[in-house]
Structure 1
Amino acid sequence: MKRGGVSSADWGVSYSPSHICALKNSSVIMSCTYTYPTGHQIMRVFWTKGPLQEGVELPDLSNDPECSQRLQYLGDEQQNSTIRLSHVTLKDSHEYYFRIITNKDKWTGYPGVTLTVTGDFDLQVESPERVTEGDSVRLTCKSSCTLTDRATFIWYRNSQPLTERRDRNNELLLQSVRREDAGRYSCAVHGHNHISPAVQINVMYPPKSVSVSISPSGEIVSGDSVTLICSSDSNPPAEISWFKGGTFVGSGRIYSISKISSDDSGEYKCRSINEHGEKYSDAVTLNVMSVRCFSSVAVTAGVAAGVGVLLGGASGAFVMYICLSRTMKRGSAVKEISDPNEDTYTALELKSTTSDLYDTLTTVHPRAPEDSCRTLDPQSFSKHENPSINRKMLQ
């Protein structure tokens, strides 16, 4: 029995591919081209399977009861021959040969096509190492077996099918990638339970949605502690810088000011920057109020609302706490109070406010002699035993 790939210039068989790994229950296509000597007439050509044994005639696969119902011949059978073997099983793992019989001789193309059928195979997703927002990304589902029948692939993101459409190509193309495309990708072959290990796709993008929040919110008074927080959406995480006006004042996501003063008033903003870009937040304004309070004593039967806080005491004496702000405007109802040890502040001049109110504060109605209460003299009130009623500045 003559056999060989190319043993002479006249005989020859060439296989493509020469090695096939197929999944159980899939279809396999085996193909070859062949030549034979001039003057020979083709009597018969067919595919057979090994092992080859000297002196033993190999059977035509069309007559093999194990595969005859699953075999289909393709090609013109003049210069090439192609067969499809469907629903392959583990028993189909053999070396397959093309056999030529002419009116003068016989020839077997050796070595042939090696077919390995497996029920367990490895799948792996290949992806780029770096993915940036806006890129086009191609993922490839690789198998330890060469799938010759154009198997149908199914793709998953975060264990959920990407689409109802099944793809006969083992590649998944993500065009103009967005942040929402990030996730864990895996693939499978339709009809098989095996799913590849997941590959993480991490989409990089420049800072977005940069903003500043202030804690605590509301009015800020001199001496308070204030925290500014910069929020930013970016990948990879951005570096944060803080600016007051156009001057750099700090870095980090949180910028804290302890014992804030009026010098800290101004506009603040943060800058978020990574390797893909940068973005500034809108500016926020800090207005720091300087507030001082002092106590005063009045002997009265009542005071109109809006002047201060009156705390009642014995003998009709009241302590009035008046808070003064440097931001108060001078008007017809204010006058300056100067203390050599303090800053200059403004206070309400009650007499110029309303005559009724002033008369109420300055007129003392003596009580009956049997009443043990007595009228307090504001000028001597500093001698009172209770130091908290002394006229002083409350910080």
Structure 2
Amino acid sequence: MLLIILLLLPGVLSNQWSVSYVSLSPVCAARGSNVSINCRYEYPDGQQVQRVMWCSMRSNHGYCAVKPYVYDESNNNQKNFQYIGDKTSNCSLLISNIDQTHSGEYKFRFITNGKKYTGDPGVNILVDGVLSNQWSVSYVSLSPVCAARGSNVSINCRYEYPDGQQVQRVMWCSMRSNHGYCAVKPYVYDETNNNQKNFQYIGDKTSNCSLLISNIDQTHSGEYKFRFITNGDKYTGDPGVNILVDDLKVSMSRSRENGSTIVGDSLNLTCTLSCSGNLADVQWFKNRDLIRHSEPVLTFSRVTAEDSGNYSCSLRNFKTTSSEEITIYIEDVTGFPTVLIIVLILVSLVFIATAVILIRRRKAIMKEKSVKEREEVKDSLYSTIQPQKKLHQKNHTGYSEANKNLPGAEDVQQEDEVQYSSVTIKPKELLQVSANTEQENDSTIYSAVMNG
């Protein structure tokens, strides 16, 4: 008879040292049966297991620091003891054809490249002398077994039958494709044929009826039953064991209920499996890169902008169980005022530079316009004075000739000349022309007087 203690998934690491047995209570075994002591062990990341041992307190003591060992991978193994674990996380031990001499406490010990550790206290086994005389199939748990999609699930069970019977055939069936006592095909496992690739029988034809389901998915959910045939009868373990398969999910809780998540906020990411209360060890990924964190809850006490990214989780060493990604965006509001000030300064400088350019351009236009207006005024003034000079010459000559014999003529002439000079404003060249003209007029007037 084989007694199964625990359903284990291989490949679990941790950041602590530990050995976990299924039960510290005494395990009762019948003489002549096979007993499996299932356990798991953990050690910090970076450590590498170099040696594994099992010891019995009947022949050893304390932490099993020295020989003898009931199992030691290097040597001195006893024939009834078989190590069915590995150098990663599974430390299970199989004791075959057990008898009263095998009663007692057993401990697992392992050595890494950095430390030695023993699981203490161990697990106790009690062996009596009664053999089974009944038909039975015992599953570890009749409660639904919760599995993450993409993981491996082991359904552990044991079966018994009366003395003198010999097992000839073993099968496993699913109630999704079968019914009742699985009396007919199809079977998910049948040692004769028609085995499905995801199902592997890891039991025997004595007492162990365990089944391993690899890369499990939702189509594998349902009830499973074990059936065996001996040389005298057929028996099915009913009811069977139920398996529920679901996806891992990442949920987020944060200190800020509304609005965006900003630098300095706190938040938690939790890896959950809806059909399971608590997950043991998981692994986290950020942007699909592994994060060194094995707890189901990933805590950020004060987030930074660098924490933004896509996060997912999976069972440790089972990346095929990876959840969907959840995206976290952290707003860096601490740098916003500085950026705003810089932008405002740049805009102000551009505005000022543009204003200066426009003002200078306007001044240049006004100056150019003023120069043109001055030139137009000069040209207009010169053209206005020329006819006045001719009119003055005519009036001046006529006046002299008509009034040369009148009294006071000379005073009148002088007064006219004063008026002429007071209204005439000419450039230097024009004044010279006027002077010459007046000299000519004087000569004319003088000639007229003399001739008279």
TM-score (norm. length: structure 1): 0.34
Greater percentage in helix: 2
**Structure with greater strand percent:** 1
Bigger Rg, which one? 2
Calculate the TM-score normalised by the size of structure 2.
Answer: 0.30
